[in-house]
Structure 1
Amino acid sequence: MSRLATTAALAACGVLVLTACGAESDSGAADRDEVTSKFAGPDGKRVGTVEVDEDDGAVQVSVEVSGLEAGYHGFHVHTTGECEADSAAPDDPSKTGDFLSAGGHLNPDESEHGDHLGDLPALLVKEDGSATLEFTGPFTLEELQDEDGSAFMIHADRDNYANVPERYAPKGPDEDTTKTGDAGDRIACASIKAG
């Protein structure tokens, strides 16, 4: 085969490959939704981002944060897309604190902690204060973007998912454990607004 024929054949293959790639991305774009939100602390300082990418019904969640205390932190989705510092809880306005405006955990089935739809894998922050986390979420983007939105929340402490053996709590876990897994204060929040 001559050099000219080889070049023409490679060029034709390149056009076919580009055409095929374009067709895939065109069809993929119609079935793909993506939302990105910034995590901020109570002082308003940005500490990272969360990206939610839904493709053909599968929801990929990607988190990148920095400037946090090293160790495990509870990581949840809360029911309301409001991240206000020193705010009132929607279900009890007499209770105030950082990011209480986000409500409780996303929990449409009213199950026990550890089985809430909003109970997510723990966030492990390295010694340098940074963390990344990627997982496939148990929810849809539509659920996150309901009429009042939702919020991703980072807590000060680790989450025990209410998994407290009976030998440590003969009467069962207390209310703080059954609600939040003893994850502690809300230290960073990222709002997902209603769709």
Structure 2
Amino acid sequence: MRRPVVPTVLSACALAAAVGGCAGDEEAPSASSGGVSAAADSPPAGAGGLTARLVDPEGGEVGVATLSEADGGTRVEVEVTGLAPGFHGFHLHAVGLCEPDSPSPTDPSMTGDFLSAGGHIGAGETDHGDHPGDLPVLYVTEAGTGTLTAVTDALTLDQLDDEDGSAVMVHADRDNYANVPERYAPGGPDQMTRNTGDAGGRIACGPVEG
């Protein structure tokens, strides 16, 4: 079973959070030994990789992600600027279309920013936390900047660059990976949590391109 892990090196504040002391001492999502891992000090993306330029709902560019082959899987590297400080859900979505105020391809009655990108890759097959499109949370500093490098063995570049493409997505809130302890929800997490990890609205999106 694949489960993403929280990066251990993001910034001084994120490191402090990992040992119990940052941003109100809120508990970060737990790490596990699944198919996505942090990759500090990774080399830059090489030739033949994919790129996603991230924009906000107003069309302003807020970052760039590169995806490249790596030992053991696919390396995902992202740099963002101008986003709200804190932890943000960070995923790969199933459709390479990033349109503001757009309908969901699976439910046209639902509209919202970047819904055109569909759900996480693999959504509907498993609960959130085990989707191939699930990645570690992205931490944004008080200065509004954030970086993340991770390697996943759940997806290849060919799968990301298929007929309908894919998209890199940043969400408004932190991702709990559907990890809700029974003392809070005796019946388990609700369906929204199982689908998205309560990561909230979509604040930045970029189609993956060759």
- Fold conserved between structures, TM > 0.5: yes
Amino acid at match of 1:34: G
The alignment partner of 2:116 has SS state of helix
> Is 1:121 equivalent to 2:136 in the alignment?
yes
Alignment of 1:165-184 (within 5 A): 165-184=181-200
The alignment partner of 2:66 has SS state of strand
Instruction: After superposition, give the CA deviation of every residue in 1:71-101 in whole Å (9 maximum; x if it has no partner).
Output: 0000001100000000000011010000000
1:79/1:149 contact within 8 Å kept: yes
> Is 1:162 equivalent to 2:178 in the alignment?
yes
Q: When the two structures are aligned, how many residues end up with a matched partner?
A: 164
Q: Residues 45 and 103 of structure 1: is their aligned pair in 2 closer, same or farther, counting only changes over 3 Å? A: same
Q: Distance in 2 between matches of 1:69 and 1:63?
A: 16
Q: What stretches of structure 2 of length at least 5 have no aligned partner?
A: 1-45
Higher radius of gyration, 1 or 2: 1
Q: CA deviation at 1:33?
A: 2.4
Report what 1:41 is aligned to.
Answer: 56
Q: CA deviation at 1:60?
A: 1.3
Amino acid at match of 1:107: G
Q: CA deviation at 1:56?
A: 6.6
- The structure richer in helix per residue is 1
2:70/2:151 contact within 8 Å kept: no
Alignment of 1:107-146 (within 5 A): 107=122, 110-138=125-153, 139-146=155-162
Q: Percent identity?
A: 57
After TM superposition, the runs of 4+ consecutive aligned structure 1 residues lying more than 2 A away are 55-58
Q: Distance in 1 between matches of 2:118 and 2:51?
A: 20
TM-score, normalised via structure 1 length: 0.80
Report what 2:163 is aligned to.
Answer: 147
1:57/1:140 contact within 8 Å kept: no
Q: CA deviation at 1:171?
A: 1.3
- The structure richer in strand per residue is 1
TM-score, normalised via structure 2 length: 0.74
The alignment partner of 2:69 has SS state of strand
Q: Distance in 2 between matches of 1:150 and 1:61?
A: 13
CA RMSD across the alignment: 1.7
Q: Distance in 2 between matches of 1:87 and 1:109?
A: 21
Instruction: After superposition, give the CA deviation of every residue in 1:94-134 in whole Å (9 maximum; x if it has no partner).
Output: 10000000000101781111100011000000010000000
Report what 1:191 is aligned to.
Answer: 207
Q: Distance in 2 between matches of 1:192 and 1:57?
A: 21
Report what 1:16 is aligned to.
Answer: none
Q: What stretches of structure 1 of length at least 5 have no aligned partner?
A: 1-30
Q: Distance in 1 between matches of 2:123 and 2:172?
A: 25
